[in-house]
Amino acid sequence: MTSDLSQLPDAERAYQTLREGVQQLLREHTRLVGVTSGGAWLVERLQKDLGLPGEPGIISSAMHRDDFARRGLAASAQTTLPFDVNGADVLLLDDVLYTGRTIRAVLNELFDFGRPGCVRLAVLVDRGGRELPVAADFAALRLEGVPDTQSVALARADDGSFSLQVQAAA
């Protein structure tokens, strides 16, 4: 836990913790699905690092957001689920869990594709501040003390390495 935002935790170290946590959550037929965009980066790397077969799913919250009228549809906001959702064991991955509104929207999107047997959530960062009753099954790290006027986001460098950034909230 940290409240000193001048010294953000190392995202690569947090990723290693996330990888270990996800490995513990995997079942025989678990399918990884990343929330665009930070969660998508995480599942792409996790799928490879964990040696999982097939391609991970990518899911967008854009069409089901309660602020869609204000935010609109992002160009990269495409859902791709390369498996049958019905009865699937889905492990959602996101970079930052905050209010729970994105996860609510993602669940609505997921159910547009079918009815999964189980949906669990793993996140790189849990920053608290829930507005909805959403909890991660695994969080690599927890950040406290981030003001509502700031957002925490995962960034990916050209070499694929991760870092965390704090910026003014949109």
Which CATH number belongs to the domain containing residue 111 in this structure?
3.40.50.2020
Go through the chain and tell me how many residues it has. Answer: 170
β-partners of residue 128 are: none
Residue 31: in which H helix or E strand, if any?
strand 30-35
Which residue range is the domain that position 64 belongs to? Answer: 11-168
Q: Does residue 17 carry a pLDDT above 80?
A: yes
Note the pLDDT tens digit of each residue in 32-68. Answer: 999 998 999 999 999 999 999 999 999 999 888 666 4
**Quick check: is 3 in a domain?**
no
Domain count, the chain: 1
Residue 61 near residue 102, CB atoms below 8 Å = yes
Task: With 0.75 as the threshold, say if the pTM is over it.
Answer: yes
Angle at 11 between CA 78 and CA 143, to 5 degrees: 95
**HSE-up (13 A, CA, CB side) for residue 68:** 10
In a domain, 81, yes or no: yes
User: What is the mean predicted confidence (pLDDT) over 115-119?
Assistant: 98
In a domain? residue 1:
no
Task: Give domain status of residue 6, yes or no.
Answer: no
For residue 20, pLDDT over 90 is answered with: yes
Q: Is the pLDDT of residue 96 over 60?
A: yes
Residue 2 within any structural domain of the chain: no
